[in-house]
Amino acid sequence: MNVLLLSMPDSFEHMAPVAVVMPNGALTSLAGNIDAHHKVAIADLVLVQDRVRSTVESLVREHRPDVVGLSIMTFQRRTAARIIALMRSLKPDVKIVVGGYDPSLAPEAYMQPALEAHPEPERDGARLQCPSGSPTNDCHPDRSRAFRGGTEGPRVSADTATPPSDPTVSGVDFIVRGEGEVTFRDLLRALENPEHDFANISGLTWRASSSSHLTEANTGDCPTQAKTGLEWATITSSKNPTVQSSHRPQSSAHPFIRSCDDWVVNPDRPVHSLDSGEIKLPNRSARVLHGYHMLGRQVDVVETSRGCTYDCSFCSIIEMRGRNFHTYTFDRVLADIRDARDHGARSIFLVDDNITLNVRRFEALCQAIIDAKLDDIDYTVQAMTSAIATHGETLAPLMRRAGFRYVFLGIENILDGDLAFLKAAAKNADRDNGRTVGNATLKAIDYIHRNKMYVVGGLIVGNPDDTPESIEENLRFASKYVDWPYIQHPTPYPRTPMTKDFVERNLIINSRLHEYDGTTAVVKTDSVDAEQIEFMRWRAERWMKLRHIPAAIRHDPWFILRNWPKMLAYTFRGSSIRSALGLESEQQVFRRYKARRQAEREYV
């Protein structure tokens, strides 16, 4: 079969696209684990943000896909809905598979009636007009984990804060939940089989009408009364998959789910242990779009482990895969790095959820990279402050020798109260003989700087109890100690503990999920409105980014000298000659920036 794998064009805005464009590692992992006779093409649409529609049309003409897989994060849901509608208009019989964090954690948003072979929805400003009355809705951000709309949902005002609405996506045939490599491989095998038996594929949700292996006898009844939101009828059997209806019965004369737009939810797939060799290397050769880079150097992503055992309230990992930590063998990791280098990468981002959970293993990996002579690559990694602070004396020099340059440090916040709300105090604790003796952040930063590495500082401001003073305190800290800011606002993603807290405190003021990108404030605090929170971050963060230019010039002088005007224009978009001369207020510049950002989100 012809398989086309797509990542969405929606991206986080912390770095200018001219400076950094990262690949989606999930799609290459999927491509590397399907049977070799399939023809697979990977298109990271982040590479063509200004021509998404024409690129998709060209991909369909060239590859004639039988199956299209989409990797979707929450803030990408609206764009995914539009791309699915476009796909259906170009090739009505194509099978649509969705996966990633959003379909895994909010599958009900994708369990809508199938799109018939009708024309693509017409755009009306930011809205999609749905053909034939079929429902689609609004749309939300995530990461390179395996698989790793419609009209806008109701607005939420600051006065009547309610939980985000459930924007929905029509036209999906299959949902891959959790890790997708084996589930997607088995799905393709079942699609090739004339019987289309999907019932034994763990981790798969599918339309009952797609298979002849589900009978009315094991589907149960449709709901008989209307319910608020999506309607669910769940029938669980020890022998059969769960069937869920996401659409009201068309008639009380048809009591079985088979007469509804019905779905079957197979049991979850256990997480992979990774050391068994079941997950094969990514297939980077399947990429049909190119241009990934980090400050002018071709960049790729590699994972050495999956999972985390902490339970930070803002994170989706525990809900996605449970509390666990699994690692690849070093032979496999080194082979992956070599493959990335052979494909041209000179910079690699290790995208592990929490590589510093096992510091001794990470130290051994650094030594293995040195011994394998793979230390001529620039590495970026995510790390906990507590691990760096506790083991930095030996770990940090070893990291630098192995080629590590940027360390994304999960600082989260410098105030104890906010760390408690974020449930991130433990991973930011400085310990001595097992006792917590303070915050580890400054100690970790010192180790990183002493070894000539740079800190990408991850902070979250705008938590429920934040005041203007507490937000400013975090921003001042970042300005003083962080080399590149990665400052976000708390965002109520599906099924995270944080979401429940914000709902209970009535603080969510924005239900437009396509704005759930981390840098748009969608929740207020008890004392600061959302727009003020976002303005404070935006005003401070621009100048922090500017200060990193000299360090970037020293490492990549020709790239920076060629591209600094574009980088500057992106960082300070909304500014003008009048604002530079002090003839406009910062609030006016901020409003122009917000309008630009809104326009940037219209990809399809």
By the 8 A CB rule, do 86 and 604 touch?
yes
The tokens of 223 are what?
Answer: 């709901």
Question: What φ, ψ does residue 220 adopt, rounded to 5°?
Answer: 80, -170
Of 422-436, 455-469, 533-547, the poorest mean pLDDT is in 422-436
Residue 33: helix, strand or coil by DSSP?
A: helix
pLDDT at 232 over 50: no
pLDDT for res 132: 30
pLDDT for res 156: 36
Distance from first CA to last CA of the chain, Å, rounded? 27
pLDDT digits 0-9 by tens, 160-196: 333 455 567 889 999 999 999 999 999 999 999 988 8
pLDDT for res 428: 84
Of 9-13, 118-122, 194-198, 220-224, the poorest mean pLDDT is in 220-224
**Which is nearest to 21 in space by CA: 2, 40, 47?**
47
Residue 538: helix, strand or coil by DSSP?
A: helix
Of 41-55, 138-152, 297-311, 347-361, the poorest mean pLDDT is in 138-152
pLDDT digits 0-9 by tens, 329-361: 999 999 999 999 999 999 999 999 999 999 999
**Which is nearest to 103 in space by CA: 127, 81, 83, 85?**
81
The predicted model gives 519-544 an average pLDDT of 97
**Which is nearest to 463 in space by CA: 310, 312, 311?**
312
For strand 20-21 and strand 293-294, is the pairing parallel, antiparallel, or unpaired? antiparallel
By the 8 A CB rule, do 221 and 248 touch?
no
How many other CB atoms sit within 10 Å of the CB of residue 361?
16
The confidence band for 425, taking pLDDT boundaries of 50, 70 and 90, is confident
Q: Distance between CA 88 and CA 96 in Å, rounded? A: 9
Sequence letter at residue 568:
L
The tokens of 525 are what?
Answer: 């605090």
Q: Distance between CA 581 and CA 590 in Å, rounded? A: 16
pLDDT digits 0-9 by tens, 16-31: 999 999 999 999 999 9
pLDDT for res 147: 54
pLDDT at 280 over 70: yes
For strand 299-302 and strand 347-350, is the pairing parallel, antiparallel, or unpaired? parallel
The tokens of 496 are what?
Answer: 């995270």
Give every CB contact of residue 432 below 8 A, 6+ residues apart in sequence: none
Most confident of 37-46, 141-150, 261-270: 37-46
Alpha carbon of 422 to those of 106, 117, 321, 436: distances in Å? 22, 46, 19, 18
Residue 577: helix, strand or coil by DSSP?
A: helix
The confidence band for 14, taking pLDDT boundaries of 50, 70 and 90, is confident
pLDDT for res 540: 96
Percent of the chain with pLDDT over 70: 82
Residue 10: helix, strand or coil by DSSP?
A: coil
- Give the DSSP letter of residue 449: H
Alpha carbon of 224 to those of 231, 246, 257, 359, 385: distances in Å? 10, 13, 11, 55, 53
pLDDT at 133 over 60: no
Give every CB contact of residue 6 below 8 A, 6+ residues apart in sequence: 27, 43, 45, 56, 68, 69, 70, 71, 83
Q: Distance between CA 263 and CA 338 in Å, rounded? A: 42
pLDDT for res 446: 97
358: left (phi over 0), alpha (psi -120 to 50) or beta: beta
Burial profile 199-208: b = 16 or more Cβ within 10 angstroms, e = fewer: bebebbbbbb
For strand 378-383 and strand 293-294, is the pairing parallel, antiparallel, or unpaired? unpaired
Lateral strand order in the sheet of 299-302:
299-302, 347-350, 378-383, 404-412, 454-460, 484-488
The residues that bridge with 129 in the sheet, in sequence order, are: 122
Residue 360: helix, strand or coil by DSSP?
A: helix
Q: What is the pTM of this model?
A: 0.86
The confidence band for 97, taking pLDDT boundaries of 50, 70 and 90, is very high
Q: Distance between CA 2 and CA 14 in Å, rounded? A: 35
In CATH, which of 3.40.50.2300, 3.20.20.70, 3.40.50.1980, 3.40.50.300 is domain 292-468?
A: 3.20.20.70
The confidence band for 231, taking pLDDT boundaries of 50, 70 and 90, is very low
Q: Distance between CA 44 and CA 603 in Å, rounded? A: 13
Domains in the chain: boundaries: 1-153+164-203+268-290, 210-265, 292-468
Q: Distance between CA 513 and CA 153 in Å, rounded? A: 9
Q: Distance between CA 132 and CA 117 in Å, rounded? A: 11
The tokens of 564 are what?
Answer: 């600094």
